[in-house]
Amino acid sequence: MVADGVAEGRRIFANTVKYVLMASSSNVGNMFSAAAASLFLPFLPMLPTQILLNNLLYDAGQMTIPTDRVDEELLERPAHWDVRLIRRFMGVFGPISSAFDFVTFAVLLLLLHAAAPEFRSGWFVESLATQTLIVFVIRTRRVPFLRSLPSLPMLVAMIGVAALGVLLPFSFLAEPFGFVPLPLSFLAILVVLVVAYLVLAEAVKARFYAVVSAERPIARRRSRTERRVRRVASRFSHPRRLGGARGG
């Protein structure tokens, strides 16, 4: 019974970290992309209502993360909150997300000569698709789908949210939210961009965790040494001992 509780606690913690990694890297990338786009565009890159809708759909999909499977190696030993790892992860994957946003901007402006409504619709679809589907890469340190399968609710929700984003500009909700139908050529390019993004993210993820795993033994050795030094130093820094030494 106790062992089951411990395993469940580790599973909850692992899924919580998944969400933090996904949300932090995605938000950093989107904020940087929006700020950079505002510098050279004569219009808002995305309307406030579109941003809110994007976040609503994204977070709706993320609600299925608690149902996700957790890799066995994460349940074998206790984990701890590592802010440094999260900060490094955010610093690596945030710029990758922004880079693909910039490629999308170039496609919309230079190839398709998109006006403001087309630009906003195209970036909305690309942004929602990339930040939703990247979950399948970030959710595990293994190769996704081949060595680690997501839960069925998570799989359905993420694919459903990405598909809904593609369909919105063609639906009856397009006009109220400021969307316009997108050309099929953009949708074809979008598929290529999303696949390239996921492949690159998987390669970077493998390298990232390889570096982290190589650093941890060194960090553990240093921490043991530091603890030993503190124990020795405490013998000579105890208040009573120091007071006794002065009194003698």
Residue 45 has pLDDT above 90, yes or no: yes
Q: Which domain holds residue 83?
A: 2-223
The pLDDT, as a whole number, for residue 5 is 84
Answer yes or no: is 197 within a domain: yes
Residue 238 has pLDDT above 50, yes or no: no
What's the token pair of residue 160? Answer: 């459903």
Place of tokens 């219009």: 43
pLDDT digits 0-9 by tens, 19-33: 999 888 888 888 899
Answer yes or no: is 23 within a domain: yes
For the domain that residue 32 is a member of, what is the CATH number?
A: 1.20.1110.10
Answer yes or no: is 49 within a domain: yes
Burial class (CB in 10 A: 0-12, 13-18, 19+), 151: middle
Structurally, how many domains does the chain consist of? 1
Which conformational region is residue 140 in: left (phi greater than 0), alpha (psi within -120 to 50 degrees), or beta? Answer: beta
Which conformational region is residue 82 in: left (phi greater than 0), alpha (psi within -120 to 50 degrees), or beta? Answer: beta
The pLDDT, as a whole number, for residue 119 is 96
Question: pTM for the full model?
Answer: 0.82
pLDDT digits 0-9 by tens, 159-209: 999 999 999 999 999 999 999 999 999 999 999 999 999 999 999 999 999
Answer yes or no: is 242 within a domain: no
**Dist. CA 114–CA 59, nearest whole Å:** 28
79: enclosing H helix or E strand = none
Answer yes or no: is 200 within a domain: yes
Cβ atoms of 151 and 68 within 8 Å: the answer is yes
The pLDDT, as a whole number, for residue 248 is 43
How far apart, in Å, are the Cα atoms of 15 and each of 77, 85, 218?
15, 15, 27
The pLDDT, as a whole number, for residue 233 is 53
Rg of the chain over all Cα atoms, to the nearest angstrom:
24
Answer yes or no: is 116 within a domain: yes
Place of tokens 């921490």: 223
pLDDT digits 0-9 by tens, 62-98: 999 999 999 998 888 888 888 999 999 999 999 999 9
Residue 241 has pLDDT above 80, yes or no: no
Q: Which of 119, 129, 149, 110 is nearest to 42 (CA)?
A: 119
Cβ atoms of 196 and 96 within 8 Å: the answer is no
Residue type, 55: N
Answer yes or no: is 243 within a domain: no
**Dist. CA 5–CA 123, nearest whole Å:** 44
pLDDT digits 0-9 by tens, 109-156: 999 999 999 999 999 999 999 999 999 999 999 999 999 999 999 999
> Strand, helix or coil at 24?
helix
DSSP assignment of 144-157: BTTTBPPPHHHHHH
**Dist. CA 113–CA 173, nearest whole Å:** 24
Cβ atoms of 144 and 202 within 8 Å: the answer is yes
pLDDT class for 42, splitting at 50, 70, 90?
very high
What's the token pair of residue 45? Answer: 């890159």
Residue 229 has pLDDT above 60, yes or no: no
Answer yes or no: is 47 within a domain: yes
